[in-house]
């Protein structure tokens, strides 16, 4: 049974699916619709979304198109990269980390406009429905959530197109649009569907939209230097950059050198496995550089403890729990560790590879040449190692004596 809804805020891209949802909400719920389009660096012109919404009867004051790129990188991407978060060993969480920001702002717009409901275009099979809706509920549990894909019978491409034609919704295909199901933002672009539904089939080269093929990347390596402060990159080759500008520049470098492609089968939160391909050029560079600067600035046990949090932290984001207290607790510990992560990292970019060729910290360097040199030194007594080794082996010594006494 449908709830009585007066006004709903729709996460709106201006594409076919969300345009159909917009009309469907008007027809099925007989409510006022507010559209919200977030610019998080997906690389598309967003003003056509405004035009499309007006064509579908949305009042100009009910159309929100907002540039959230700086907030996205500063408050969501950078904190995640301080954690070196990576899901199931490979996925850099490009889609996962965008959803809480969109959900938060969507709920805020609902409050601003007096809306009593929110809606999204995620399907009932995917992770995004969970991420969006947990986000809504975390911000305002009183909002009614409308998930059309779980309600309507438009469960095929043919039915969607027929609905569009019947209701005068423009279905003109954009020039150069990929046939794959894609999601893009400033951190990554993802691909699903078609040949990718066979995990044993290699995708065609023309699927990749951003990165140069490593085979065709420049034959001459490029060297760059990243400066870090409190775990965040703040300057590239000596030029101070804002968070969004930093990621934009690193994306350009990564794309040029064929960096950041992965082809994986992942475990969705809802239960099934899913095959997807991803391009995360700038993020791949950031991850490599961040681990390099941490290698000389983090205490050993602090670093190992922090690494132990990665699977839990990454799953928390992947599953949609950005606003959960456990994520905030882990973030507090991670951010505390980053107070000493200051310095520079030199990288070589070459044909899909990122090689660390230097790292330095003027203020927090724990790499002490006097202790680790292979040459003669006056600070380390090598005889001390004998007692250290015996103490660490004591449990084995005792166990061995017991086995010997028992004739084993």
pLDDT in tens, 23-44: 999 999 999 999 999 999 998 8
Q: Are 86 and 314 in contact (CB under 8 A)?
A: yes
- Cα within 13 Å of Cα(326), Cβ side: 11
- Three-class SS state of 316: helix
**CATH for 245:** 3.90.1260.10
In this structure, the answer to whether residues 20 and 149 fall within a common structural domain is yes
Q: Measured between alpha carbons, how far is 131 from 190 in angstroms, rounded to an integer?
A: 17
In this structure, the answer to whether residues 102 and 160 fall within a common structural domain is yes
In this structure, the answer to whether residues 151 and 191 fall within a common structural domain is no
In this structure, the answer to whether residues 162 and 185 fall within a common structural domain is no
Strands 239-240 and 261-267: unpaired
In this structure, the answer to whether residues 238 and 265 fall within a common structural domain is yes
On the question of pLDDT at 368 being above 90, the answer is no
Q: Are 350 and 221 in contact (CB under 8 A)?
A: yes
Q: Would 312 be classed as within a structural domain?
A: no
**CATH for 103:** 3.40.50.620
**Catalytic site residues?**
17, 99, 128, 181
Q: Which residues contact 135 (CB under 8 A, 6 or more apart)?
A: 99, 100, 102, 103, 104, 107, 320, 322, 323
In this structure, the answer to whether residues 188 and 160 fall within a common structural domain is no
Q: Which residues contact 349 (CB under 8 A, 6 or more apart)?
A: 221, 222, 223, 224, 253, 254, 256, 257, 259, 285
In this structure, the answer to whether residues 236 and 145 fall within a common structural domain is no
Average pLDDT along the chain: 94
In this structure, the answer to whether residues 159 and 191 fall within a common structural domain is no
Q: Are 116 and 7 in contact (CB under 8 A)?
A: yes
Domain limits at 56? 7-68+97-166
Q: Residue 175's pLDDT band (boundaries 50, 70, 90)?
A: low
Q: Would 252 be classed as within a structural domain?
A: yes
The whole-number pLDDT of residue 240 equals 98
Which residue, 342, 346, 138, is CA-closest to 222? 346
SS (H, E, C) 180-207: CEEEECCCCEEEECHHHHCCCCCCCHHH
In this structure, the answer to whether residues 112 and 20 fall within a common structural domain is yes
In this structure, the answer to whether residues 51 and 192 fall within a common structural domain is no
36 or 370, greater pLDDT:
36
pLDDT in tens, 235-286: 999 999 999 999 999 999 999 999 999 999 999 999 999 999 999 999 999 9
Q: Would 120 be classed as within a structural domain?
A: yes
Q: Would 380 be classed as within a structural domain?
A: no
> How many domains is the chain partitioned into structurally?
2
Q: Are 117 and 141 in contact (CB under 8 A)?
A: no
Q: Residue 404's pLDDT band (boundaries 50, 70, 90)?
A: confident
Q: Measured between alpha carbons, how far is 328 from 332 in angstroms, rounded to an integer?
A: 6
On the question of pLDDT at 217 being above 70, the answer is yes
Q: Would 193 be classed as within a structural domain?
A: yes
Q: Would 175 be classed as within a structural domain?
A: no
Q: Residue 158's pLDDT band (boundaries 50, 70, 90)?
A: confident
In this structure, the answer to whether residues 356 and 235 fall within a common structural domain is yes
Q: Are 216 and 256 in contact (CB under 8 A)?
A: no
Q: Which residues contact 118 (CB under 8 A, 6 or more apart)?
A: 8, 9, 10, 11, 106, 107, 110, 136, 143, 144, 145, 146
Which residue, 245, 243, 190, 225, is CA-closest to 78? 243
């Amino acid at each position: 049974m449908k709830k009585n809804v007066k006004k709903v805020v729709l996460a709106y891209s201006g594409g076919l699916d969300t345009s159909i949802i917009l009309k469907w909400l008007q027809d099925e719920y007989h409510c006022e619709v507010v559209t919200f389009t977030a610019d998080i660096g997906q690389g598309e012109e967003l003003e056509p979304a405004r035009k499309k919404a007006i064509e579908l009867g949305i009042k100009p004051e009910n159309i929100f198109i907002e540039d959230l790129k700086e907030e996205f990188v500063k408050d969501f991407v950078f904190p995640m990269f301080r954690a070196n978060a990576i899901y199931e060993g490979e996925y850099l969480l490009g889609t996962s980390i965008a959803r809480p920001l969109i959900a938060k702002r969507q709920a805020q717009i609902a409050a601003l406009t007096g809306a009593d409901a929110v809606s999204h275009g995620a399907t009932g099979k995917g992770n995004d429905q969970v991420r969006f809706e947990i986000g809504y509920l975390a911000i305002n549990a009183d909002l009614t959530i409308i998930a059309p894909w779980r309600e309507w019978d438009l469960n095929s491409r043919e039915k969607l197109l027929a609905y569009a034609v019947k209701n005068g919704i423009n279905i003109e295909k954009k020039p150069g649009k990929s046939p794959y199901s894609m999601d893009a933002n400033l951190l990554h672009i993802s691909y699903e569907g078609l040949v990718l539904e066979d995990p044993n089939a290699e995708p065609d080269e023309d699927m990749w939209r951003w990165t140069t093929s490593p085979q065709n990347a420049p034959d001459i390596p490029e060297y760059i230097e990243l400066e870090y402060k409190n775990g965040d990159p703040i300057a590239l080759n000596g030029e101070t950059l804002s968070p969004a500008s930093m990621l934009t520049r690193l994306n350009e470098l990564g794309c040029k050198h064929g960096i950041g492609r992965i082809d994986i089968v992942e475990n969705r939160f809802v239960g099934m496995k899913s095959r997807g391909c991803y391009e995360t050029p700038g993020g791949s560079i950031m991850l490599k550089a961040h681990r390099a600067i941490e290698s000389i600035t983090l205490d050993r046990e602090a670093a190992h403890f922090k690494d132990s949090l990665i699977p839990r932290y990454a799953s928390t984001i992947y599953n949609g729990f950005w606003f959960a207290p456990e994520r905030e607790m882990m973030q507090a510990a991670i951010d505390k560790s980053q107070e000493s992560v200051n310095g520079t990292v030199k990288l070589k970019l070459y044909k899909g590879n990122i090689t660390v060729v230097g790292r330095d910290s003027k203020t927090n360097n724990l790499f002490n040449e006097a202790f680790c040199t292979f040459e003669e030194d006056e600070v380390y007594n090598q005889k001390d190692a004998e007692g250290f080794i015996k103490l660490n082996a004591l449990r084995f010594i005792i166990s061995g004596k017991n086995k010997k006494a028992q004739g084993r």
